Amino acid sequence: MSHNISCFRCGASLAAMSLPLSRQDECPECSVYLHVCRMCKNFDPTVPRQCLEDGAEDVTEKDRVNFCDWFSPDASAFDAVRKSQADSARQSLDALFDSGKGGEGSAASDTSSDSDDAEKLFQ
Ligand SMILES: [Zn+2]
């Protein structure tokens, strides 16, 4: 069975591990347990109990091994975390660029007039 899941903590590929993941399975890179909520596709920090599956047992520690029957590893468990961080970083970058655009434009025209002046000096 081929899959493309990766560790929710370090992003290491878990493609060599056989599914389903057992409660003993650890990440080969960072040794974190993998049968945990944060590795699961039902995990969603934005919903009550941080779980999309109403029938799942209440797991309070989302990075501890759980005994949940609904556990299903999410291939994007790591990317989801990274993506949200990247998105917020990109948004602040965009804000920087947007506020800088007007200044850049006028700076560019200043530069061209400066070079015109410089060229006159050399003529
Ligand atoms: Zn790892």
Q: State which amino acid sits at residue 34.
A: L
| Amino acid 36: pLDDT | 96
The SS3 assignment for 13 reads strand
**Distance between CA atoms of residues 42 and 73, nearest Å:** 9
Tell me, in angstroms, the distance from the centre of ligand 1 to residue 61's CA.
Answer: 18
Collect residues with CB below 5 Å from ion ligand 1.
7, 9-10, 12, 27, 29-30
CA–centroid distance, 67 to ligand 1, in Å, is 20
**Which pLDDT tens digits describe the chain residue by residue (123 residues)?**
578 899 999 999 999 999 999 999 999 999 999 999 999 999 998 998 899 999 898 888 999 999 999 999 998 888 665 666 777 888 888 888 887 655 555 555 555 556 666 666 666
Hey, what long-range contacts does 22-30 have (CB within 8 A, 24 or more apart)? 23/65, 23/67
Measure the CA dihedral 101/84/7/49, to 10°.
170
- CB proximity list for 55: less than 8 A, separation 6 or greater: 70
Tell me, in angstroms, the distance from the centre of ligand 1 to residue 60's CA: 21
